[in-house]
Amino acid sequence: MSQTSNEWLALTTEAPLAPHLPICDPHHHLFEDPTGRRPRYLLDDLRRDADGLNLVRTVFVDCMSHYLTEGTEALRPVGETTFVRRVAEESARTIGCHIAGIVGYADMTLGDGAQAVLEAHVEAGGARFKGIRHATGWDPTPSIRSYRNQPGGMLLDTAFRRGVNCVARMGLSLDVHVHHHQLLEVASLARAFPEMPIIVNHTGLPLGIGPYAGKRDEVFRHWRGGIAELASYPNVYLKLGGTGMESFGFGWHERPAPPSSEEYAQATAPYLRVCIELLGADRCMFESNYPVDRRACPYVVMWNAFVRVTRDLSAGEIANLFHDTAARAYRLE
């Protein structure tokens, strides 16, 4: 049985532990790939996965979907923003859940040339367009591949930072996808652009595969040091999630059945609680990273795990983690 199939996910089912808690999912994707390289996953699929939860708004994050097939290479990602805006407008008319924010892609290494791409995104996405993600995850180990597989040190590159300056100048946010050993580069970027919201994806991604397998305590200490450094910069936010990805090394996708929310919470709580402790709930937000993290567990099970992790927190902290921090960081309407 495929570990991404509905049949596999159905082996572990739970009712929502907090069905009335308002949720803003600040990180999901939509796929409709005619080549069949990626399974179709659109907003109606997300709605089905979230059945029983109070999912009131979401933020779409770039995933190389629906790019334009003609015109300059730099402007082709604008096709994704056009597609998502259309989906968002249709869903706003027909269902309660709606895409309130769009994070697209622009090549920051274009430097000042990124300005024209950003302007095209804003025109295509309207008020929903909130920011850019240029993923820069890198590791010297060839077997550790990351989204976009960029070379190391990009966050420190002069041309890249000229592109980021365009993002800051336009009042947009920057999503950052890095691995745990790159967190100090993120801190350097935050120091250089103190007025721009920088939103770190996937809990800062402490790696647990390749040469990091079996070294969870060592990686945890290194990762925690990076998170502590990021806490010094009030413009940095953290998305708490992505822990279903294979890179974390939990091996959820290799199990005969998905974990329960209790088991998922137990494994991920040490990371999530450190982030909340160091940055505060007002700078952290839970994310689903769906459908990528569908390889780990059902959507409801994941959010139930987040509920379990936060049971000893105040009502205000819980509201921030599940909805309000994301709404502030992305300036949602």
Sign, Cα dihedral of 46, 47, 49, 54: positive
Sign, Cα dihedral of 135, 141, 145, 149: positive
Q: What is the mean pLDDT of residues 319-328?
A: 98
Q: What is the pTM of this model?
A: 0.95
pLDDT band at 3 (very low <50, low <70, confident <90, very high): very low
CA distance 11 to 21: 25
CA distance 124 to 83: 9
Which pLDDT belongs to residue 212? 97
CA distance 167 to 57: 24
Classify the phi-psi angles of 148: left when phi > 0, otherwise alpha if psi is within -120 to 50, otherwise beta: left
Determine what percent of the chain is predicted with pLDDT higher than 70: 97
Fold of 17-329: TIM Barrel (3.20.20)
CA distance 318 to 308: 11
Average pLDDT, the chain: 94
Residue 60 pairs with which residues in a beta bridge?
A: 28, 102
**pLDDT of 151 above 90:** no
pLDDT digits (tens, 9 = 90+) for 177-226: 999 999 999 999 999 999 999 999 999 999 999 999 999 999 999 999 99
Determine contact, residues 200/240, Cβ cutoff 8 Å. Answer: no
Mean pLDDT check: name the lowest of 36-45, 298-307, 313-322: 36-45
CA distance 329 to 326: 5
Beta strand ranges found along 32-121 (DSSP E): 54-61, 98-104
- Parse the chain into domains and list their residue ranges: 17-329
Q: What is the mean pLDDT of residues 306-316?
A: 98
**pLDDT of 318 above 50:** yes
Cβ count near 203 (within 10 Å): 25
**pLDDT of 309 above 80:** yes
Determine contact, residues 260/307, Cβ cutoff 8 Å. Answer: no
pLDDT digits (tens, 9 = 90+) for 54-112: 999 999 999 999 999 999 999 999 999 999 999 999 887 766 568 999 999 999 999 99
Residue with tokens 């995933």, as numbered in its chain: 63
CA distance 169 to 164: 9
pLDDT band at 333 (very low <50, low <70, confident <90, very high): confident
